């Protein structure tokens, strides 16, 4: 019985140490190219709720986005054949809200990022 309690205590502490070492996800890259805005996270994200509309990302001035996950780190807004598309030579404020979770568990901290369609 003593061994069992010691093992349980050790596993509990190891789990706590592991959870404390996890980092919140961040943005690796954000790119606006033509009719697509690509947001790449720096670690794999939980994408299995992707059938729901992405309401935790805002873009100003507003555009009509069709959001899709390209893989478990990259989400893309496509405005192809939409009424409100990205305009050339413009700046956009992208608000990425809370609600994105990494596959390890930690939640993304909300950020506002400015991107441009000015070209290289």
pLDDT tens digits for range 51-108: 456 789 999 999 999 999 999 999 999 998 888 999 999 999 999 998 899 999 999 9
Architecture of the domain whose range is 23-116: Sandwich (2.60)
Instruction: Tell me the β-bridge partners of 77.
Output: 37, 67
Q: What is the pLDDT of residue 55?
A: 80
Judge whether residue 14 has pLDDT over 80: no
The answer to whether residues 113 and 27 touch, using CB atoms and an 8 Å cutoff, is yes
Q: In angstroms, how far is CA 39 from the centroid of its own chain? A: 7
């Amino acid at each position: 019985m003593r061994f069992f309690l010691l093992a349980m205590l050790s596993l509990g502490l190891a789990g706590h140490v592991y959870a404390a070492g996890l980092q919140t996800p961040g943005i690796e890259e954000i790119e606006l190219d033509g009719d697509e805005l690509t947001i790449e996270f720096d670690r794999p994200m939980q994408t299995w709720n992707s059938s729901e509309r992405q309401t935790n990302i805002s873009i100003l001035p507003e555009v009509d986005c069709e959001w899709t996950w390209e893989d478990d780190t990259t989400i893309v807004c496509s405005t192809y054949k939409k009424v409100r598309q990205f305009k050339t030579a413009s700046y956009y404020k992208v608000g990425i809200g809370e609600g994105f979770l990494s596959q390890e568990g930690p939640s993304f901290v909300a950020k506002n990022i400015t991107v441009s369609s000015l070209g290289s």
